[in-house]
Amino acid sequence: MVYFDPCDEAAPSGRRPRWKEIQLEMEGWIEDGRFEPGARLPTEEELAQEFSVHRHTVRRALAELRLKDLVRAEQGRGIFVTEANISYRIGRQTRLSHTARMQGRSLQYRLVSVDPVNAIRYGAPLGLPKGHPLIRIVMMRVLDGREIGIMRSYYPLPRFEGIPQWIASTGSVGMAMAHYGVDQINRKKLQIKAVAPNVHETKLMKFDRSMPMLELTHLATDAQHVPIEFSISRYDGRYFDIIMDF
């Protein structure tokens, strides 16, 4: 049996459909700060009770809010108010964490794992022979308290022995590099492409596997043009506007 909610049927001439009224009222909640960016909205059932309508009427209003990019759905977690994007202008020395800070946002690292590895696939970009020792660091990128990306970085040994501890203590790759006498980090190469998250990434970030991610493959050098860092980062692309000047 199909249930039709009279509140969702076509409204009399001159009157908005009920779902549209709910959509506009919820837009007002967001605009006046009742629900701040990143806040979780009440459940569909709670909203249906508040507005005295069927859940499918609420669902239609929420769908319109998603189309306007005012809210986002997270599988198993609920509906959240969309945060403002970070406008990331890519240059030779720009860093995403610095860009976030300049826009009043907090982008932090959280260490996941640290492993010594031998250069097999990633030795060549760093100008190292096969078998050369590297340190691999896997870190989560946390934007305003929310995990939005995962970063795998490779640093040559013995030059950067102990760098995980410096990243953890300073919260910054740039500040950690300064401990090793690297005062200037230059981007030599950056490749950007859209990829599907793997199972491990969806679990770490509580991410919907149907959503594409932005993959940034990055090679950095010091002031003497010696390769110092090779990284592969995957981000929830909904949080970024990437800008390139030509």
pLDDT of 218 reads 93
pLDDT tens-digit series, residues 19-78: 999 999 999 999 888 998 888 999 999 999 999 999 999 999 999 999 888 998 877 788
Same domain, 184 and 128: yes
Residue 136 located in a structural domain: yes
231 within some domain: yes
Q: Are residues 174 and 118 part of one domain?
A: yes
β-strand partners of 148: none
- Domain shared by 117 and 200, yes or no: yes
> Mean pLDDT across the stretch 185-204?
89
What integer pLDDT is reported at residue 23 of this predicted model? 95
**pLDDT the model gives residue 200:** 82
pTM: 0.74
Q: Are residues 93 and 75 in the same domain?
A: no
Does residue 158 belong to any structural domain of this protein? yes
> Tens digit of pLDDT for each residue in 91-126?
888 888 888 888 888 888 899 999 999 998 888 999
Domain extent, residue 18, equals 6-81
Q: What are the start-end ranges of the H helices in 32-92?
A: 44-51, 55-67
pLDDT value at position 1?
Answer: 35
Higher pLDDT, 10 or 119: 119
Which residue's structure tokens are 């240059």? 91
Q: Which 3-state string (H, E, C) describes 132-155?
A: CEEEEEEEEEEECCEEEEEEEEEE
Q: Are residues 73 and 149 in the same domain?
A: no
211: domain CATH number is: 3.40.1410.10
pLDDT tens, residue by residue, 140-166: 998 888 888 999 999 999 999 999 999
Domain membership flag for residue 147: yes
Specify if 1 maps to a domain: no
Residue finishing a domain among 54, 81, 108: 81
**Is residue 199 situated within a structural domain?**
yes
Q: Do 51 and 25 lie in a common domain?
A: yes
Averaged pLDDT score across all residues of the chain = 87
Please say whether the beta carbons of 140 and 109 come within 8 A: yes
More confident residue, 24 or 202: 24
Q: Are residues 127 and 46 in the same domain?
A: no
Same domain, 74 and 123: no
Identify the residue with better confidence: 10 or 245.
245
Which helix (DSSP H) or strand (DSSP E) does residue 44 occupy? helix 44-51
Domain shared by 58 and 173, yes or no: no
4 has pLDDT over 50: no
CATH number of the domain residue 39 falls in: 1.10.10.10
Same structural domain for residues 32 and 107? no
**Same domain? 74 vs 90:** no
Domain count, the chain: 2
Do 60 and 113 fall into the same domain?
Answer: no
Overall average pLDDT of the 205-222 stretch: 86
